Amino acid sequence: MTTTALESQLRRSTPSRRRWWRNHSLLSVSLALFFVFAFLQSIAGHNHWNDELESHHRPKISYVSYIKSGDFFETLSENWESEFLGQSAYIILTVFFLQRGSAESKDPEKESPGEQQARSEEDADPPPDAPWPVRRGGIWLRIYENSLLLVFLALLLSSIALHAVSGAGQYNAQAREHHEPTVSTIGFMGTSQFWLQSLQNWQSEFLGVAAIVGLSIFLRQRGSPESKPVDAPHSSTGG
């Protein structure tokens, strides 16, 4: 390849990379921040765990040993659990309930696009570029039109299971140290410790949902799809 051809190819690829970044930057940045903060959590957790061990005159553990421990996965999973609960609840609550003036609610005075689609989908032919389940119809369409909630529920149940398994392992490790009886994973889910860990996060998720629903009535953020237009009256609903 000649120098001129190589330069031409580089000029074509640069706008392509910029376009990709523009189209996918929100997800990319969110995932990057997740990994950054998960790593920082592991560092802080490792230091805290070793401080606890040192206070009890026990040998410290390595970073690798810590991130394999039940304590690390327990703290991760109980927070994932609350996040997936909050998102699942938000998805289903906004289907049935309304809040006049909120950017997060359907307009109480209008039929939503989803309701219009449900009413007319039997008679309308899907466009050729519609997702495959929409073009196939039947049970595949029914699953696909609820797939967002179904996947969030699956993630919620998975995170609850991970919380229970890792929490039981950590609970039993402490029980053995104090020569107390151990419990099964199901048994751990019946302890006050499991429910304290879960509920202290669940309540914060619903506070967050209530805050965005209520504050979006009166407050604005220019450029955000989560906000109504800056000049929209407080009584208007939807973003």
CA 42/CA 162 separation, integer angstroms? 17
The pLDDT score that the predictor gives to residue 5 is 62
Burial class for 101, CB neighbours closer than 10 Å (0-12, 13-18, 19+):
buried
CA 161/CA 73 separation, integer angstroms? 11
Residues in CB range of 230: below 8 A, 6 or more apart: 220, 222
Sorted by where each begins, the domain ranges of the chain are 26-68, 70-107+153-239
Three-class secondary structure of residue 223 per DSSP = coil
The pLDDT score that the predictor gives to residue 178 is 86
Q: Provide the CB-side half-sphere exposure for 146 (13 A, CA).
A: 10
Q: Which residue matches tokens 């419990």?
A: 183
Three-class secondary structure of residue 7 per DSSP = helix
225 token code pair: 């799809």
The pLDDT score that the predictor gives to residue 42 is 95
The pLDDT score that the predictor gives to residue 65 is 93
| pLDDT in 10s for each residue of the chain, 239 residues | 556 665 566 566 567 888 888 899 999 999 999 999 999 999 999 999 999 889 888 899 999 999 999 889 999 999 999 999 999 999 999 999 989 999 888 888 875 555 555 544 544 678 888 898 988 888 999 999 999 999 999 999 999 999 999 999 999 988 998 899 999 999 999 999 999 999 999 999 999 999 999 999 999 999 888 888 898 898 888 75
The pLDDT score that the predictor gives to residue 226 is 87
The pLDDT score that the predictor gives to residue 114 is 54
- Size of the chain in residues: 239
The pLDDT score that the predictor gives to residue 210 is 93
- What's the whole-model pTM score? 0.81
